Every structure is written in structure tokens, then in C-alpha cells.
Amino acid sequence: MNDERVKLVLASGSPRRLALLEQVGLEPDMLNPTLIDELARKNEAPRTLAKRLARTKAEATVQAKQVQDLGTGRFIVAADTVVASGRRIIPKPDSIDEAAAALHLLSGRAHRVYTGICIVTPRDSYRQRVVETKVRFKRLSREDIESYLMSGEWRDKAGGYAIQGRADAFVRSINGSYSNVVGLPLYETVTLLEGAGFPVYYNWFNAG
């Protein structure tokens, strides 16, 4: 494959996922945010939901006209992150009350963060992976929760918190990928891209 024709599309408008890709020297040629129904189906497990939503985002991006206009040689990265306490999914809160309820639930407990990754190759082959990280919070005081809510960092965050921000002070332990909790597990994403034929390290070599 001619490396000069290879393009990378991130099926997201998330500044966190973009920053993570750029951190490992991968700058997308296009951002293609997708609007999909992210509600879990009845009795759907958190891991299954993360995998399904990533695939759905990838499929929607494949059909987007601006992506098709890129022509051949485009790779797509789609991802979705789900936070769960046991089998209970903690969605992105729509209000400060929902964010408070999420933090109360996570207080003093371990929870799991699942990110589904879906890579689409230029031949429209789909490669998927779900990455799981276990996170344990300290017991949060009323002041902890109220101060965090006032910071506004909970907005548009799965589970109602951003580990890359103030909430890192709540984390007693983490078992697994840190970047997964931020929103995109880098080791697995790079491994999938490399295995699919994307010239990851060619981009590093030419970065300067």
C-alpha cells in the first residue's frame, strides 16, 4: 500500500480521544462525530454495549459522504466507553443530580470501564476489541462530591467523571489501561491499526 495515500478518520468529536491519538503520533485526517442511540438494550451487558456502540459508530462513519469522498486508503477508528458498577451501567449524566448519583454510587467501590474499539480497513474489514480497566475510588466525602460537581468536569463523561482531571485524586487503585479510562486504550488501538496495515511507525518516522 502506498503510505502517501493512507488516511486516518476518527469517528468522534471527543477532544480526549483526539489528544490520545496525537500523543502517540497519529493525527487524524478527518474527525467524523456520529450521533447514535447510546441507550443500552434490555439486559445488555456493559461489555456488549461498548462493543456494539463502537461498531455502530464505525458503520455510520463508513457511510458518511465526506468519508467516502476520501477515496481508497482510509482507515477508521471508532470507540465507545461504558462505565459500570457490576452489571449496572452508569451513563453520561444529563444533569448535576445524575452526576451526584453516579459519584455516590462509585464512592468507596471498585467499578469497571469498558471501551469498545472498532477499526475499519480500506477494504471495509472490521476489527474489534473491548478493553476493560478496574478502577477503585476512595470513599468520597460530601465536600469531595460537591466540589467536583461545581468544577463541571462531570459533563459529557461516562460515569460522571474525568480521570485525567480532578477525579484522579479520587482513585485509590487502577488495574489495567489508564488511557482506556480516558476514552481510548492506546496499546490496543495502535496494535489493531498496525495489524490492519496502517503505517503507525512510518508516521512517527516522518513526524519531524
Where in the sequence numbering do the catalytic residues fall?
A: 80
Extract the C-alpha cell encoding 175.
488495574
How far apart are the C-alpha atoms of 18 and 20, rounded to whole Å? 5
Give the whole-angstrom CA distance, residue 35 versus residue 14. Answer: 12
CA torsion sign for 174, 50, 14, 93 is negative
Angle at 181 between CA 204 and CA 60, to 5 degrees: 75
Q: What end-to-end distance do the CA atoms of the chain give, in Å?
A: 22
Give the closest residue to 7 by CA, choosing from 56, 57, 72.
Answer: 72
